[in-house]
Structure 1
Amino acid sequence: MSDTPRARALAKELRAARSAAGLTARELARALGWSEAKVSRIETARRGILVQNVEAILDVLGMKGGDRERLLKMARDIREPAWWELGRELPQQLTALIDAEQRAKTITDVTLNVLPGLLQTRTYTRTVMEASGVPEDRIDDHVSIRQVRQGILSKRNPATLRCFIDETAMTRPIGGAKVMADQLQKIISAVKEPNVTVRVIPLSIGAHAGLSGTFVLFEFGKPRPVVYLEARRSGAFIDEPDDVALFFDAVERLEDHASDLEASQEILQKYLEQYESEAK
């Protein structure tokens, strides 16, 4: 299976491993008895990545231990369709995002105008999608997909989710008071789990490092981190280290300015009680 998010992720890791070993694609091809074009097709996911080919590459690179087993597992799993690839025609941007969520060890979500997608209720998500113009006949499917994506927070080895939420997102009554109350209650319940933290960026601080735009920072452990930028009906990944470093810097700045966990909980509770009162 070529040119899928998982294939591209493995191809990127194989390129990085070759580079770390100090070999050019031509030198690797010569050592394997392959053409340079074959190595190029594998490293760009333009050719189906076979387990035996990955084994051969790792043998030449001298990779052993946990890193070797991890890459071989990626190669074995690459031929098994993921749940989001079964019977669905999803945009490439969305499948890439889901794949990143599935593989991430830590996800840092910086949100401005809406509450984090991985913590949204069905009704809140539906309201946002309706307002953004998602076709009516596709909304149910998209809402369900977002709910299933949240499973990464409760699987056996769950991802760690860190959210920085601009207080503005709580002042906008998306869906009305009842929807907002249910949504805030879900977030308050979520932060009781050890792998989920939410910090609120209070209105009182004025300008802050997140105002340049919403972004999600994915950290995978061994593979280098990437940043996902979402725009209307589209999105893009950034993986150049110098560019990604700018977002790590933004997160550090937000950590300095956001309310601490206890104060953030108090802000969430304040808005919950406000919307509960309005919903009566």
Structure 2
Amino acid sequence: MAASQTRSSIRRRQLARELRTLRDLAGMTGEDVAKALGWSSAKVSRIENAAISVKTADLRKLLALYQVPENQRDRLIELARTADQRGWWDAVPTVPADLNAYLALENEAHKLLSYSALVLHGLLQTEDYARSILSDQLAMAPGAIRRQVDVRMRRQQRLTGPEPLQFRGVIDEAAVLRQVGGPEVMRDQLRHLLELAERPNIRLQILPFGAGGHPAVSGPFIILEIPDPGADVVYVELMNRNIYIEDDVDVHRHVLAFDILRNKALPVEETPAFIQRRLTELE
């Protein structure tokens, strides 16, 4: 996904996909739509590629042209209305564009599948662990670190509440052996993992070194499952850039890889004992 696309709303992209599908079902080309509505072909293309928001009046014209049933029209109009709503993270000045895009996806997701290779996922981190990880990053000022830690802590509210995010995490053994921040910080972090593992919406599994090779030896990844059909996204974070994968085939490959990781990892029921043994080693 290009940088400009990552900044567009997940809802806007979903609306664009549905509008393309409706046009195809109506047996029309983009040029046909433009001619019927007195628009330019470029405008139709930008709407269908989520490059621009579609105004409610224009959306109603499209839906009438495609002869969309009234109940479906209401749903799509509501989708358009909420497409560009800003999140709480937009008010944080130090949140970069790529992280802003990820937070929007995380906020939309109902389930998150995470493979952590060397460090824990941000939703699982304690404040001290997060501060230590961010402090090790290059060229980040103390004030920026503090604000990024605050953002990370606020994100964790997704794990609680009446409809909490369903979190499925496979954690490589390396991530629990690595003493981020030193023994004391790591002890608190491991205790926090044990507490999280007791929550019904969180399922954690340790992938021990003895499990051998696997499809994700090249690094961690996150699969964000979005309620809207066909909207799931894979997120890969690199040192100098982030990658968003939306192609259905590539997303499915990552789902298959995650299933293999889960099968190779310790069962959910055995993971707390593994974490407790590591905690005992540090005490």
Q: State the TM-score bracket (shorter-chain normalisation).
A: 0.7 to 0.9
* 8 Å contact kept, 2:208–2:265: yes
Whether 2:101 is the aligned partner of 1:96: answer yes
Aligned to 1:138: 144
**How many Å separate the matches in 1 of 2:71 and 2:200?**
26
Alignment length (residue pairs): 274
- Indicate yes or no: 2:270 matched with 1:263: yes
Deviation, structure 1 residue 79: 4.7
Deviation at 1:154, TM superposition (A): 1.6
Whether the 8 Å contact between 1:11 and 1:43 is mirrored in structure 2 is: no
Q: Which residue of the partner structure matches residue 171 of structure 2?
A: 165
Q: C-alpha distance in 1, partners of 2:55/2:5?
A: 14
Gaps of 5+ in 1: none
- Mapped to 2, the partners of 1:251 and 1:69 lie a distance apart of 37
In the alignment, the residues of structure 1 paired with residue 110 and residue 209 of structure 2 have an alpha-carbon distance, to the nearest angstrom, of 30
On the 8 A contact 1:7/1:45 being kept in 2, the answer is yes
The change in CA–CA distance for 1:89 and 1:172 in structure 2 (over 3 A counts) is closer
Show the counterpart of 2:11: 10
Structure 1 SS opposite 2:113: strand
Give the root-mean-square deviation of aligned CA atoms: 2.3
Separation of aligned partners in 2, 1:247 and 1:138: 32
**Does the 8 Å contact 2:16/2:47 carry over to 1?**
no
Residue 204 of structure 1 corresponds to which residue in structure 2? 210
Q: Decide whether aligned partners of structure 1 residues 195 and 56 sit closer, same or farther in structure 2, where only a CA change above 3 A counts.
A: farther
For residues 110-259 of structure 1, what are the structure 2 equivalents within 5 Å?
Answer: 110-133=115-138, 134-224=140-230, 225-259=232-266
Distance in 2, matches of 1:98 and 1:171, equals 28
* Change over 3 Å in CA distance of 1:112–1:66 after alignment to 2: farther
Is the 1:101–1:218 Cα contact (8 Å) retained in structure 2?
yes
Q: C-alpha separation between the residues in 1 aligned to 2:59 and 2:266?
A: 47
* TM-score after normalising by structure 1: 0.88
**Identity score, percent:** 30
* Distance in 2 between residues matched to 1:78 and 1:86, nearest whole Å: 18
Structure 2 runs not aligned, ≥5 long: none
Contact 2:94 2:144 survives alignment (8 Å): no
